[in-house]
Structure 1
Amino acid sequence: MLEQLKAQLCALHQALPRYGLVTWTSGNISARDPASGLVVIKPSGVLYEELQPDDHVVVDLQGRVVEGRLKPSSDTASHLYIYRHRPDVNGIVHTHSPYATAFAALGRPIPVYLTAIADEFGGPIPCAGFALIGGEEIGRQVVEHIGRSPAVLLKNHGVFTVGPTAQAAVKAAVMTEDVARTVWYALQLGTPDEIPTELVARLHERYTNVYGQ
């Protein structure tokens, strides 16, 4: 079931340790199949280097396992909460990438200090409140605080990113850590100036509708 989506998700999972976004078995990616509405998600506690396409678990939006021999991620309920409340989202990534999580530990959003933040996120990367793992609480925090951004920090925890596809959500996770690292370096030197809101909107519009092929 959904073999192509499982294979894609397995390949995307390998990008998380490659970009330094996760360690050991932490973090996860899920993808929703638009045709069936079913969700494919990483199994709980499996090493990335050992992960195979068939290890992924297929669940419905209520959390019932449709296919899979392993337990789904402990974040499954939160992923499903996001999917139920965001029909535009078909991919979700959760990481504990170190620079972004440093901001999350302080409960601090990441301001628009860089054109890259304006381009990718269209505004500051917000920080949600604290929530315990295992239920829908984290998903609720994501939905309430992410706004139009593809990324949100979770206080004392880590990062969630969303996208129209799982690949888009992974890109947002990579970019979140990249800009968080640069902002952290900048803050060691002083206090950067924020880019004015009207220029942020222009930069985001160009990046979204003009940049690339």
Structure 2
Amino acid sequence: MSEQALREEIVAVAQAIDKAGFCPSKSGNVSARFEDGMLITPSGLPYAQTRAEDLIRLKLDGTVVNGSRKPSSEWPFHVEIYKARPDAQAIVHTHSPRATALASARRGIPAFHYMIALCGGSDVRCAEYATFGTPELAENAVRALEGRKAVLLANHGVIALGGSLAGAHTIVSEVENLAGQYLDLLASGLEPVILDEAEMARVSAKFAGYGKVG
């Protein structure tokens, strides 16, 4: 894919998550791996106004290659994830309401539904808290993402990674859906029945044969 086409796809995903209500107050960010670095959305620019030329190209040491705007303040966890995860080709970060509510209780999402397997394992973990934009947050995110494609960030939001922008977008959307269902279950007073590791392994194997997502 050309750089221009990738830039346009990043903007399209950023605008889609914004329209879905996942990015209140210009929060969240989207990036994609490109050559020896990445392209990422800018800081503080409303997604409705963001254009392909507004994206910033960074090396994986944080050096700006081109772009007249400041990169998202969360660029540190993007570069650390790309360095730690060769399988990650795209990252979508949101403050989607229900997943963020759950993250604010510092509670992950267990395997109450088989679709958890879409997120790369038998649960969605909640990473330890650290101030936004810091190396500590990046370290916590990378650690919690081990063996996973999605993580909640304590008192913050959600990160999803994928083998494509479409895949990362699908996963971050499903995390919000699952978080909402889990919160509804907890609010009802019903006790979720958690699927065991063996069943989640079977589901993961079926997903692998069903078609690639993420």
TM-score (norm 1): 0.93
Give the residue type in structure 2 aligned to 1:69. S
Measured in 2, the distance between the counterparts of 1:109 and 1:78 equals 19
Q: Give 3-state SS (helix, strand or coil) of 2:24's partner.
A: coil
Alignment gaps of 5+ in structure 1: none
Measured in 2, the distance between the counterparts of 1:134 and 1:4 equals 28
Q: How many residues align?
A: 211
Give 1:210 deviation, angstroms.
2.4
Give the residue type in structure 2 aligned to 1:67. N
1:17 aligned partner? 18
User: What is the RMSD of the two structures over their aligned residues, measured on CA atoms?
Assistant: 1.7
More displaced, 149-158 or 135-144? 135-144
Measured in 2, the distance between the counterparts of 1:212 and 1:147 equals 19
Give 1:211 deviation, angstroms.
5.0
Deviation digits for residues 116-147 of structure 1 (CA, Å, limit 9, x no counterpart):
22344431100110111223222211111112
Measured in 1, the distance between the counterparts of 2:45 and 2:210 equals 40
Give the residue type in structure 1 aligned to 2:157. G
More displaced, 36-45 or 129-138? 129-138
Measured in 1, the distance between the counterparts of 2:39 and 2:211 equals 31
1:7 aligned partner? 8
Measured in 2, the distance between the counterparts of 1:178 and 1:21 equals 12
**Percentage of pairs with the same residue:** 34
Give 1:208 deviation, angstroms.
2.2
Contact 2:92 2:161 in 1 (8 A): yes
Alignment gaps of 5+ in structure 2: none
Contact 1:120 1:207 in 2 (8 A): no
TM-score (norm 2): 0.93
